[in-house]
């Protein structure tokens, strides 16, 4: 197995980042520094990065329905509840692909595949993420256009989205929102700029992986066929760039 694939399969980082570690002389195989890209790892080889042992585990892919009230991280300085407080022990080694804020719920992909995580979250690849979003009011046409054209939610950061109205009355509007960015609290900040509060936000799809079939707090393995389709989807996006 090529060394960058071995490192990525350990969940330590992506293949691209692994190549950077190799070129920087931070990777050792059996105690010897390796700086050659494409170096082949054998079964009994010991691989370390900065003297930390790296092991290529079997790649695992799961989808998880995050309830509200939990943050998407393994630890928190403020001692807030995290998804790892409710994940069963056998899934504690998996890493989340992206994040959902404390007040949001829905789909999170969990995996130890560092390369897939990199591709699903890197801003240049622009992977679609779909949300159901309920806001407290009815937007005007010019406000809806701003969602499409882009809103400066922070200095130098322009947020935009694709949207469709699913339900609407004077008191509230239910949107389907599709993001291709990963800005912090992006949807909430866009609507706050327009003068509306997000009442409920749930992610229902990440690329081709859907929340369907899960209850809150439940985790389920993603089928190999879906992972194959996901990787094909990512390759197609990269080819179109």
Any idea which architecture 61-124+208-240 has in CATH?
Answer: 2-Layer Sandwich (3.30)
241 confidence band (pLDDT: 50, 70, 90) = low
Give percent of the chain above pLDDT 90. 81
Q: What angle do CA 18, 20, 22 make, to 5 degrees?
A: 70
Of the pLDDT bands very low, low, confident and very high (cuts 50, 70, 90), residue 129 is: very high
Buried b (16+ CB within 10 A) or exposed e, 150-161: ebebeeeeebbb
Structure confidence by residue, pLDDT tens digits, 14-30: 888 999 999 999 999 99
Residue 18 to residue 223: CA distance in whole angstroms: 27
The label of the residue with tokens 């390759």 reads 235
Structural tokens at position 23: 């070129």
Most confident of 10-14, 57-61, 93-97, 215-219: 215-219
- Beta-carbon neighbour count of residue 72 at 10 Å? 19
Fold of 129-206: Alpha-Beta Plaits (3.30.70)
- Residue 55 confidence (pLDDT): 84
Cβ atoms of residues 115 and 15 within 8 Å = yes
Pick 73 or 175 by higher pLDDT: 175
Catalytic residue, chosen from 45, 101, 103, 169, is 101
**How many residues are there in the chain?**
241
Q: Are 76 and 39 in contact (CB under 8 A)?
A: no
Q: Is 130 a residue whose pLDDT tops 70?
A: yes
Whether the per-residue pLDDT at 210 is higher than 70: the answer is: yes
Average pLDDT, the chain: 94
Which regions of the chain carry the CATH code 3.30.70.580?
61-124+208-240
Q: Does 57 score more than 80 pLDDT?
A: no
Concerning whether 101 is annotated as a catalytic residue, the answer is yes
For the cut 90, the answer to whether the pLDDT of residue 5 exceeds it is: no
Q: Do residues 145 and 151 touch, judged by C-beta distance below 8 A?
A: no
Q: What is the mean pLDDT of residues 64-75?
A: 94
Q: Over range 1-6, report the average pLDDT.
A: 90
For the chain, residues classed under CATH 3.10.290.10 are 3-54
- pLDDT digit string, tens, across residues 158-197: 999 999 999 999 899 999 999 999 899 999 999 999 999 9
Could you tell me which CATH number the domain at 3-54 has? 3.10.290.10
Q: How confident is the model at residue 11 (pLDDT cuts 50, 70, 90)?
A: confident
Which phi and psi (to 5°) does residue 177 adopt?
Answer: -115, 135
CATH 3.30.70.1560 in the chain, residue ranges? 129-206
């Amino acid at each position: 197995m090529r060394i960058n694939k071995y490192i990525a399969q350990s969940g330590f980082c992506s293949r691209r980042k692994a190549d950077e570690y190799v070129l920087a002389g931070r990777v050792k195989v059996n105690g010897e520094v390796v700086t050659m890209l494409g170096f082949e790892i054998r079964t009994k080889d010991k691989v370390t990065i900065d003297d930390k042992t790296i092991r290529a585990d079997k790649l695992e892919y799961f989808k998880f329905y995050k309830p509200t009230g939990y943050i998407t991280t393994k630890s928190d300085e403020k001692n807030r509840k995290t998804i790892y407080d409710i994940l069963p022990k056998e899934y504690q080694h998996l890493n989340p692909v992206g994040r959902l804020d404390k007040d949001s719920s829905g789909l999170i992909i969990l995996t130890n595949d560092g390369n897939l995580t990199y591709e699903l979250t890197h801003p240049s690849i622009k992977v679609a993420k779909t949300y159901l979003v309920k806001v407290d009011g009815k937007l005007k046409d010019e406000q809806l256009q701003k969602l499409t054209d882009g809103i400066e939610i922070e200095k130098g950061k322009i947020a935009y989205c694709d949207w469709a109205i699913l339900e609407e009355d004077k008191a509230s509007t239910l949107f389907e929102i599709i993001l291709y960015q990963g800005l912090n609290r992006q949807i909430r900040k866009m609507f706050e700029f327009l003068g509306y509060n997000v009442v409920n936000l749930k992610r229902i799809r990440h690329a081709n992986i859907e929340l369907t079939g899960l209850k809150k707090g439940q985790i389920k393995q993603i089928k190999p066929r879906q992972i194959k389709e996901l990787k094909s989807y990512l390759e197609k996006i990269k080819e179109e760039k």
